[in-house]
Structure 1
Amino acid sequence: MVGLIALTGAIKYQLNNKIQWDTAWQFGLPSMLASYTSAGFSVYLTGTQQIILFAIIMLVAALSMFKHKINVVENAGETTFSFKLVLAGLAVGAISGLVGVGGGFLIIPALLAFTSISMTNAVATSLVIITLQSLTGFINYYALAEAQNLIFDWKIIAIVAGVGSLSSLLGERVSTKFSQQKLKRIFAVFLLIMSLFILIKSNISFLLQ
């Protein structure tokens, strides 16, 4: 679902030439490898453990977004090779495969921290990386499906992916109404609220078991 939604958004941004492809490949290819590998280890975590880990990492990402200032110039030039960017891709990919998410909440802070691209370019580029990560992670999960008794609800996948894709297109249009810095702050606040909500909800569920 995440991959299909991200793909829709990426296509829209590409039509407006917002994607930094050199950055996408430097970050995306290592993250694909790490996502595929770490997805196999997800069977050693319970669902509650995955959710709590996901929320904690989201909280850290939200706090980091409040610290760094961003470049306001879009398409400021090609990103030179960065070993730190490759390592960041490996780390985010590993987390994405392990907890079963596309990793956008980590990709955008990482791109802003290790490159000089703008918030808009970071969002656009992250959608390509999310698509790649989701594809490789899903392939591994699909291969494990029979052995681990995993069931895919294709109807739910279609509904959520369809609605999410339409929302993605709407979100891209709405984002043009905000400044780069304000967009970054909105994203950080959203991550903070979601991470706290998930942590509280998951811990309550854990205590009630």
Structure 2
Amino acid sequence: MTTLILALAAGAVVGLALGGLGGGGSMLAVPALVYLLGFSPARAATASLLIVAATSLTGLIAHARAGRVRWRTGVLFAAAGLPAAAAAGALSAHLPSALLTAGFAVLAALAAWRMLAPRREVGAGHRSAAGPARSTATGAGLGAVTGLLGVGGGFLAVPALVSVLAFTMAEAVGTSLLVITANSLAALVPRLGATAAVDWGVAAPFTGAAILGAWDGKRLADRLGGRTLQKAFAFALLGVAGLMLVTALH
């Protein structure tokens, strides 16, 4: 019963992050699975990809109904990351757990820093200078991070879509969910054949709660303001980063 409650609570928080911010949920899903629910880092990454893919798809539908998804550009951006996500997903099964944990801790700290940093307006000159090569490289890098560490990468996708492709913040949040869904599924496929089966007794309620949370995340962000919600998750990520770094070093 305790495990079920923990899975439901953690899933709800992950869903709120993905639905409200277009990213950040997977950065909480992996440590929740490891420290609260007893998963190994490799199994947690696999389960996280499954949870994030299902939840991001739910959030994508909600944002698409509101007209906040730029489909053509999002598909092209996601396509650049699919090969990298699949390759990195296969590679991660052969890396030491401590290395994956340390890498995740660094990434969580980076995500928190990006969330807390003041937003900077990007001038038209800078936006026009960003060509297809930079967009493709950004998409490929995002896919590699997704495959290697089992994260959706929305905290990277949203600022990239704003600064590189000149999306509005609302469009970036909605479109990032399309990118996250595609990358997560691409990274999940090689993992399913190389790691132990997913514990559905934990993953199913976790995913269900996350899906429900994603529907509420968009409304919560509208009510509180996306920036307020973003700061709350950033401080949570700083705590996660510190805990995982200590674990990796011991």
TM-score normalized by the length of structure 1 = 0.82
> Structure 2: how far apart are the matches of 1:110 and 1:51?
25
Q: What aligned pairs does 1:93-132 form with structure 2 within 5 A after superposition?
A: 93-132=143-182
Deviations 1:72-114 (A, max 9, x none): xxxxxxxx97221111000010011001111122211222221
Distance change >3 Å, CA 185–CA 47, structure 1 → 2: farther
| AA matched with 2:139 | G
CA-atom RMSD, angstroms?
2.2
TM-score normalized by the length of structure 2 = 0.69
Q: Is the 8 A contact 1:70 1:119 kept in 2?
A: no
> Can you give the 5+ residue segments of structure 1 that lack an aligned partner in the other structure?
72-79
Q: What aligned pairs does 1:1-209 form with structure 2 within 5 A after superposition?
A: 1-65=51-115, 66-70=117-121, 82-145=132-195, 150-178=196-224, 183-184=226-227, 186-187=229-230, 190-191=233-234, 193-207=235-249, 209=250
Deviation at 1:205, TM superposition (A): 2.7
> Structure 2: how far apart are the matches of 1:105 and 1:49?
21
Deviation at 1:204, TM superposition (A): 3.0
The residue number in structure 1 matching 2:44 is none
> Can you give the 5+ residue segments of structure 2 that lack an aligned partner in the other structure?
1-50, 123-129
> Structure 2: how far apart are the matches of 1:157 and 1:22?
32
The residue number in structure 1 matching 2:42 is none
Deviation at 1:67, TM superposition (A): 4.6
Higher helix residue share: 2
Deviations 1:150-209 (A, max 9, x none): 231122221111100111100111222355xxx246425523x234212321233345x5
Distance change >3 Å, CA 22–CA 115, structure 1 → 2: same
Deviations 1:1-25 (A, max 9, x none): 1100000000111111110112211
Count of residues paired in the alignment: 192
> Structure 2: how far apart are the matches of 1:23 and 1:48?
37
Deviations 1:17-73 (A, max 9, x none): 1101122112101112210111111023223322321231232244345254258xx
